[in-house]
Chains A and B, each alone.
Chain A
Amino acid sequence: MKVELRSIHKYFGPVHANNNISLTILPGTIQGIVGENGAGKSTLMKILSGFIQADEGEILLDDQVITIHSPSDALKRGIGMLHQDPLDFPPMKVIDNLLIGQEGGLFPNKRKVAADIKKLANQFGFSIDTEAYVEGLTVGERQQLEIIRLLWMGARILILDEPTTGISASQKEKLFETLTRLASEGMIVIFVSHKLEEIETLCHRAAVFRGGLLVGEAIQPYHTDDLVRLMFGKPMELGSRLGCHSEENVVEIHNLEIEDPRLHIRDVDLDVKAGEVIGLAGMEGSGQRLFLRALGGLLATTGRTKLLVKGHDLTHEPYSSYLKTGVAYVPADRMEEGLIPGLTLKEHFILTGDTKKLFIDQEESLHRTKVKISEFNIKGRPDSYVEELSGGNQQRALLALLNEPLSLVLLEHPSRGLDLESTIWLWEKLKERCKTGTAVIFISSDLEQILHYSDRILVFFGGKVSKPMLAAETNVDQLGQLIGGKGFVN
Chain B
Amino acid sequence: MEFNLILVGLAGVIAAATPIVFATIGETITEKAGVTNLSVNGTIILSAMTGFAVATSTDNLWLGFLAGAFVGALVAAIVAFSSITLKQSQVAVGFVLTLMCRDLAYFLGNPFMGLSGPRVPPAFEIPLLSKIPILGTLFFNQDILVYLSFLLIIFANIYVYKTRPGLSLQGIGERPASAYIRGTNVNKMRYIYTILGGALVGVAGPMYSLSVKAGWKGTISGLDGIGWIVLAIVIFGGWNPLRGSLGAYLFAFLQWLGLVLQTSLPGIPSQVLQVAPFPLMILTLLLVNIGNAEWVDRTIMGLPENVRPAISRLLRSMKTNPPSSLGVPFENE
Contact = CB atoms under 8 A, between A and B. Distances in A.
Given A90-B174, A91-B321, A101 B163 contact: no
Contacts of A51: 181, 332-333
Interface string B3-14: 000000000000
Given A51-B332, A101-B183, A88 B167 contact: no
Interface residues of B, number: 30
Nearest to A305: B301
Interface residues of A, number: 32
Contacts of B333: 46, 51-52
Nearest to A302: B301
Contacts, number: 84
Interface in A87-144: 87-92, 96, 99-102, 104-108
Interface string B144-179: 000000000000000000111101101100110111
Nearest to A149: B182
Contact of A300 (B163, B171, B297, B321): B297
- Provide the main secondary structure of the chain A interface: loop
Contacts of A178: none
A217 interface: no
B164 A99 contact: yes
B316 to A, nearest CB: 8
A400 to B, nearest CB: 29
Interface centre among A91, A100, A101, A302 (most CB of B within 10 A): A100
A100 B168 contact: yes
Given A89-B174, A106-B163, A107-B163, A100 B301 contact: no
B95 interface: no
A387 interface: no
A72 B167 contact: no
B164 A102 contact: yes
Nearest to A81: B181
Given A89-B171, A300-B297, A302-B301, A107 B162 contact: yes
B182 A100 contact: yes
A444 B316 CA distance: 31
Nearest to A86: B178
Interface centre among B162, B167, B298 (most CB of A within 10 A): B167
Contact of B180 (A71, A90, A92, A99): A71
Given A88-B175, A96-B170, A104 B164 contact: yes
B184 interface: yes
A101 B182 contact: yes
Given A51-B333, A101-B183, A106-B164, A89 B175 contact: yes
A80 B332 CA distance: 17
Nearest to A51: B333
Given A99-B164, A101-B182, A101-B183, A92 B171 contact: yes
Given A72-B183, A101-B184, A300-B298, 20 more contacts: A46-B333, A51-B332, A71-B180, A71-B182, A72-B182, A75-B183, A81-B181, A88-B175, A89-B179, A91-B174, A99-B167, A101-B179, A102-B164, A105-B164, A106-B163, A107-B164, A108-B164, A261-B312, A302-B301, A303-B305
Interface of A: 46, 51-52, 70-73, 75, 81, 87-92, 96, 99-102, 104-108, 259, 261, 300-303, 316
Interface of B: 162-165, 167-168, 170-171, 174-175, 177-184, 297-298, 301-302, 305, 308, 312, 316, 321, 324, 332-333
21 contacts: A71-B181, A71-B182, A71-B183, A73-B183, A75-B181, A87-B181, A91-B174, A91-B321, A92-B170, A92-B174, A96-B170, A99-B167, A100-B179, A101-B168, A101-B182, A101-B184, A106-B163, A106-B164, A107-B164, A259-B308, A302-B301
